[in-house]
């Protein structure tokens, strides 16, 4: 993971300044993949103002089926196909996501010309571990089934250069290939497996991206010790009862979670359309009163990891 790009930061409906939820994560994989988290209405329009290449989107994670997190997905899927993108795409989300996608495409006479895999998440736990990254999901506190996500990076172990030199192998480009776990045939016929010369994997960056939620223990588990926590701050502290009744969190509650989970940085997003710039600034101030290392996301904001 190398960068976050916020494509939409409004809750419920778009405003003049903010579109509805979508977040792109630029990965540092060999393919320079992009993972998209939620896809509210207008997300592909937001992409046009960035350097984001839809062909690089390899995975999409939909937190839940409320429209402000979902209604941009059919358009993006179709546009990707109409652009001639043949790369496969995997979409993760709660039960009902497959029906939504297949029914929308069928009724609109649309299709995809690339392999599309839809994976419905129906329990908490690890979704996958590809060796470089693992992704876990947990259900949050919201009227619809809503998932939060945690992405853990695995950094390859240190290459045992001393052992290689002892075996008569000179430092150079070969070392880099072995560090990538390649199998290399030497001029003398020996076959070296890079994995045999690497130490154990080391923990890397940790990112938690939570969907809509009232405070809950699952959120704390996903956020624990994350380098960055992306969390909704739909309403101000004075509106806690209303926020929680609708499955949302206040600014102060998000900041308290960040503090309890000892995260590195909180990024506040999903801001109610009732707030203008001054109102949004008040939300940020409330967050910082509890957790000083808070940023408030705005559309187009990019932040490195």
Cα 146 to Cα 69: distance, rounded to the nearest angstrom: 11
Q: What is the pLDDT of residue 70?
A: 98
Q: Kind of pairing, strands 3-8 and 228-232?
A: unpaired
Residues 6+ apart with CB under 8 A from 197: 159, 160, 163, 164, 178
Q: Kindly report the pTM of this predicted structure.
A: 0.90
Alpha helices in 108-261 (DSSP H): 161-166, 173-179, 217-223, 240-245, 251-260
Long-range contacts from 123-126, C-beta under 8 angstroms, 24+ separation = 124/218
For residue 266, CA distances in Å to 11, 151, 211, 275, 282 come to 18, 15, 14, 20, 16
Q: Supply the DSSP string of 157-181, one letter for each residue.
A: PPB-HHHHHHTT--SSHHHHHHHTT
What pLDDT sits at residue 171?
Answer: 86
CA distances from 278 to 56, 151, 176, 231 (A): 36, 33, 51, 20
Q: Domains of the chain: which residue ranges?
A: 3-156+201-304, 161-197
**Domain 3-156+201-304 homologous superfamily, CATH:** Ribonuclease Z/Hydroxyacylglutathione hydrolase-like (3.60.15.10)
| pLDDT score of 252 | 98
Query: Is there a catalytic annotation at residue 68?
Result: yes
Beta carbons of 116 and 88 less than 8 angstroms apart = yes
Helix (H) or strand (E) holding 77, with range, is helix 73-82
Catalytically annotated residue among 68, 129, 160, 212: 68
Per-block mean pLDDT, blocks of 10 residues, the chain (305 long) = 97 97 94 96 96 96 98 97 96 98 97 96 96 95 98 87 85 83 86 85 91 98 98 98 98 98 98 98 98 98 95
């Amino acid at each position: 993971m190398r960068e976050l790009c916020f494509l939409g930061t409004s809750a419920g409906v778009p405003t003049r300044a903010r579109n509805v939820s979508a977040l792109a994560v630029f990965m540092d994989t060999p393919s320079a993949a992009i993972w998209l988290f939620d896809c509210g209405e207008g997300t592909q329009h937001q992409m046009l103002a960035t350097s984001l290449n839809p062909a690089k989107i390899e995975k999409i994670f939909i937190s839940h089926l409320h429209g402000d997190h979902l209604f941009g997905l059919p358009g993006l899927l179709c546009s990707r196909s109409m652009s001639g993108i043949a790369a496969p795409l995997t979409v993760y989300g709660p039960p009902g996501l497959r029906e939504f996608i297949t029914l929308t495409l069928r009724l609109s006479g649309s299709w995809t010309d690339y392999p599309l895999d839809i994976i419905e998440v129906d329990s908490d736990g690890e979704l996958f571990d590809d060796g470089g990254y693992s992704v876990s999901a947990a259900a949050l506190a919201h009227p619809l089934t809503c998932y939060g996500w945690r992405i853990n990076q695995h950094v390859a172990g240190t290459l045992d250069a001393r052992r290689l030199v002892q075996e008569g192998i000179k430092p150079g480009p070969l070392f880099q290939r072995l560090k990538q776990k390649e199998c290399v045939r030497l001029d003398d016929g020996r076959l070296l497996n890079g994995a045999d010369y690497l130490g154990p994997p080391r923990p890397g960056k940790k990112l938690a991206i939570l969907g809509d939620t009232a405070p809950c223990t699952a959120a704390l588990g996903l956020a624990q010790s994350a380098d960055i926590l992306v969390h909704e701050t739909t309403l101000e502290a004075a509106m806690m009862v209303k926020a929680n009744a609708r499955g949302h969190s206040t600014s102060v509650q998000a900041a308290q979670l960040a503090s309890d989970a000892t995260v590195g940085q909180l990024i506040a997003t999903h801001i109610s359309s009732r707030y203008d710039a001054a109102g949004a600034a008040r939300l940020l101030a409330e967050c910082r009163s509890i957790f000083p290392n808070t940023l408030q996301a705005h559309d187009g904001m990019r932040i490195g990891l």
